Amino acid sequence: VVPAHPNCPFVGCQWKFGYGDADAVEVWNGPWTPDDELALAAWDNLLVDSAGRAGRGGPARWVPALGCSDAHREPQVVGHPQTVVRADDLTRRDVLAAVRAGRSYLAESSAVSLRFSAVDERGGHAGIGEVLRTGPDARVTVRIEASGAAADAVCRLLTDQGELRSGPAGRALTWRTTAAQSTYVRAEVRRPGSGGTPGAMVAMTNPLWLSARSSAG
């Protein structure tokens, strides 16, 4: 089950049934608009709730994000935006499993690509939708690389505490944290905003999760 355009202002298009049984949620539908911004905020609240219920075994159940073009007629364009999935194979089963696991990022077109990962002091590694189990105070380096974005685009790193780091999308952005400080980290690439309003989305990731294991683990 994937609720589509859950905050669409049209009659009968808003989602009113909760997300307890959702496999994912569409937060980006066609060109970026204010209702996508509302869907993104609601999804981020779901992530924060999952972070609050996370245990040492990893995050509580969480709902991944999807982006779809929803193109019905010209001049709407198929693939703007799109969900890029890291699946073990191109079979339907493997692709759907990767979608449910959140191993994906969203991009305005195939011209934009992201590389997003976290590495700890011992070489432990996690990518999008994965869990890095590490010591609670072990330093974790998070890195986002964007290619194909406009020269004035901005990368942002966000956690359950909000936005913690930003920088030009033209070069890799790194940030250090710990599992005790951040339960998850996700990335956005946006165009510049104006008047305090966020700029349009260029690309965004599902989160990677940091899980604090005991010193004996």
Position 217 scores a pLDDT of: 44
CB-based contacts of 105: which residues, under 8 Å, 6+ apart? Answer: 83, 84, 114, 116, 128, 203, 204, 205, 206
Q: Where are the domains of the chain?
A: 25-212
Residues 43, 35: Cα–Cα separation, whole Å: 12
**CA–CA gap between residue 166 and residue 190 (Å, rounded):** 11
pLDDT of amino acid 84: 98
pLDDT of residue 171: 94
Going residue by residue through the chain, which has 217 residues, state the pLDDT in tens, using 9 for 90 and above: 888 888 777 777 777 888 888 999 999 999 999 999 999 999 999 999 999 887 666 677 999 999 999 888 888 889 999 999 999 999 999 999 999 999 999 999 999 999 999 999 999 999 999 999 999 999 999 999 999 999 999 999 999 999 999 999 999 999 999 999 999 999 999 999 888 788 999 999 999 999 986 544 4
What pLDDT does 18 receive? 82
Structure tokens at 61: 């159940």
